[in-house]
Structure 1
Amino acid sequence: MTEATVRNVTYRNLGWDTAADIYLPPGFDETKKYPAIVSTHPIGSCKDQTSGNVYAAGLAKEGFIALAFDASFQGASGGEHRFMEDPAIRVSDIRFAIDYLVSLPYVDAERIGAIGVCGGGAYTIHAAMTDHRIKALTSITGVNFGRLIREAFSEFNPVGAMEAMGKQRTAEAQGAERHVIDYLPPSVEEGRQAGLTDIDVLEATDYYKTPRGQKPNGATSGLFSFNSAAMGWDAFLKAEVLLTQPLLVVIGDKPGGFGAYRDGWEIYGRAASQDKHIYVAEGWSHYDLYDQPEPVGLAMAQVVPFFKERL
């Protein structure tokens, strides 16, 4: 099958522009109507990485319109302050992506799906609960960022972390330089030298900090003083009531510190959907599912028929 065609587009968000790539299927015909899928990138990532060049591209080859976008305040999208990771706005970004898709004459507004990777998977789940224009959704090794920041990212001291964030935000409001943190060490070797052993941290570093997955806008960065927005947020809140659409959860069976394995089983159990499925890629890890051909192939063997049957 020939490669998908990619168009670079921008569209209006709340008070800034979103940068996105539309992946068009082989033989694309603007006079026809196509099912479309929004693809949401991980935390610290960008549209040029796994959400775009792996999953959006793969779905386009199978006949879908796929849109991968940069989150607000990140990548090539607009918004200040830079590197904010605010879950409410991240979920809102997905709604604006749908707004853009349904404005296109070649998109069937009644056949919209959504997929997300890592933090983008959990954002996709939350978006689907409050926007039922999403008719089916898939989470690829999805991580609930609210839980993660309350636990590992705050060293299991969320109140202490919030106090530090508040002090930093006050300092910045009074003129101090903004404190942008890098979620990862500069290299796998330096991570190991610092005593890091978690599979997710080391494999994330191998993906984001090497030519394997590194892209100019994949900054792996967060504005520390604004991370408090995620502390009281739960991607799965009200899933037992509101998440009624068909759901596919894909996880690897090698648990790591970011918690995709536990989050995958949790949302599978909690979702109200009567058409829900979980696929465990045996022998593969969180970051294997970002770009490694064999586990991605296993995931896509589930994802493609799931969307084709429901969109």
Structure 2
Amino acid sequence: MKKLTSIIALAMTIAATDEVNAQSAQKTKQQNPYTLVYDGAITKNEEGKVNIHPVKYKLNGIEIAANVYTPANYDATKKYPAVAVAHPNGGIKEQTAGLYAQRLAEAGYITIAADAAYQGASGGMPRHTDKPFFRVEDIHGMADFITRYPGVDANRLAALGICGGGGYTLKAAQSDKRFKAVATLSMFNSGEVRRNGFQNSQLATIQERLKQASDARDREAAGTEVKFSGVASITDEEIAKTSTDLYREGYEYYYRTHAHPNSTFLYTTSSLMELMTWDATDQIELIDQPLLMIAGSKADTKYMTDEAFPKAINAKSKELFLIEGATHIQTYYKPEYVAQAVNKLLEFYKANL
């Protein structure tokens, strides 16, 4: 009876949350029919301009929600280079991943930004599961879909991973040689941070947190509780008191300036069992494609790019590009920093696709 009561309580909580999200989604849709929350987003498809195409496809039995962007005057009988864009941790396709996908489409690329499985508008239960295997599979899945999209030249496929999507893109590119050029922006090594803490601040509690993750998985297996880690909501005062640029500016981005009902900082606590034993740089020497890594010069996450870049010893024509004055989150939306990143990406893709 206790187990049944817990399951019912959990179901009621999820239902209440879904109702709030549905109301927020309706409001967001009124602001933009495609629920895009970045500046300059497409509001309607017009002939002769960049268009957006919401699509769905199955990946390992889970329905994935994605947006495909096609260039101005798109002609399905022609061949275009393509880019798969992987979103940040906590992010979704309607935020910075969509912004970069649209900017690249404006330059003549067919692009795809997909919500990770178990997150955003994609399927999968429990919600907010954030395991590296699935995130890497999401990138392989984007390649599966976009290489068969009308007009895509499968021999000119590139990858762009942002934040956590950058770390997962490094891992996906190790084995997926369909990606002929690999780029990251503000790369975040999810495994390292979940294991060691941000800037190695939790080294003393690794075993304790692994025990918490194991206990959380045990509760899930018993069907009594799905436990979550992360931040569900935050006050302005709490944001102001956050000491690191990444999290303070991240809270402002995700909960204030670019909020979207499908975006959340939550993840299942049991996910830490896989996250804490994973690392984006493990076997990074398998990347033999051209590699571009972009980071803000003032980003407090830059140390992760600095760690990964020299380890990619077999990457061809690899380059580390710094956006002077930019923090991690500022590369997501600030026009002057986005412009620098896009220009560098276009230069890189043009040379290597």
Please give the TM-score of this superposition, normalised by the length of structure 2. Answer: 0.82
- 2:205 is the counterpart of 1:160: no
Could you tell me how far 1:81 is from its partner in structure 2?
A: 1.4
User: Which residue pairs with 2:287 in the alignment?
Assistant: 243
- 2:324 is the counterpart of 1:278: no
User: Which residue pairs with 1:148 in the alignment?
Assistant: 193
Contact 1:188–1:202 under 8 Å retained in 2? no
Contact 2:239–2:252 under 8 Å retained in 1? no
CA distance in 2, matches of 1:168, 1:17: 26
User: Which residue pairs with 1:82 in the alignment?
Assistant: 127
- 2:220 is the counterpart of 1:172: yes
Gap runs ≥5 in structure 1: none
User: Which residue pairs with 1:126 in the alignment?
Assistant: 171
CA distance in 2, matches of 1:276, 1:187: 42
User: Which residue pairs with 1:65 in the alignment?
Assistant: 110
Quick check: which has more Rg, 1 or 2? 2
- 2:262 is the counterpart of 1:262: no
- 2:47 is the counterpart of 1:5: no
User: Which residue pairs with 1:291 in the alignment?
Assistant: 333
- The amino acid of 2:51's aligned partner reads T
Contact 2:182–2:291 under 8 Å retained in 1? yes
Greater CA drift, 158-167 or 180-189: 180-189
- The amino acid of 1:175's aligned partner reads G
Greater CA drift, 169-178 or 4-13: 169-178
CA distance in 1, matches of 2:298, 2:235: 21
SS across alignment from 1:116:
strand
SS across alignment from 2:153:
strand
CA distance in 2, matches of 1:69, 1:97: 7
Q: Write the deviation string for residues 267-294 of structure 1: whole angstroms up to 9, x where unpaired.
A: 2211111310111111110000011101
- The amino acid of 1:51's aligned partner reads A
Could you tell me how far 1:16 is from its partner in structure 2?
A: 1.2
User: Cα RMSD over matched residues?
Assistant: 1.7
Could you tell me how far 1:77 is from its partner in structure 2?
A: 0.7
User: Which residue pairs with 1:253 in the alignment?
Assistant: 297
Contact 1:289–1:296 under 8 Å retained in 2? yes
Contact 2:118–2:124 under 8 Å retained in 1? yes
Could you say which structure has the higher helix fraction? 2
SS across alignment from 1:46:
coil
CA distance in 1, matches of 2:96, 2:59: 23
CA distance in 1, matches of 2:72, 2:266: 35
- 2:42 is the counterpart of 1:42: no
Q: How many residues align?
A: 303
- 2:263 is the counterpart of 1:222: no
Greater CA drift, 228-237 or 134-143: 228-237
- 2:273 is the counterpart of 1:232: no
User: Which residue pairs with 1:304 in the alignment?
Assistant: 346
CA distance in 2, matches of 1:274, 1:72: 31
Contact 2:212–2:269 under 8 Å retained in 1? no
User: Which residue pairs with 2:238 in the alignment?
Assistant: 190
CA distance in 1, matches of 2:232, 2:181: 33
Counterparts in 2 of 1:86 and 1:104: CA distance versus 1, 3 Å: same
Could you tell me how far 1:209 is from its partner in structure 2?
A: 0.6
User: Which residue pairs with 1:93 in the alignment?
Assistant: 138
CA distance in 1, matches of 2:306, 2:317: 15
Greater CA drift, 154-163 or 113-122: 154-163
Q: Write the deviation string for residues 164-191 of structure 1: whole angstroms up to 9, x where unpaired.
A: 1111221232233312233475144223
SS across alignment from 1:284:
coil
Could you tell me how far 1:145 is from its partner in structure 2?
A: 0.5
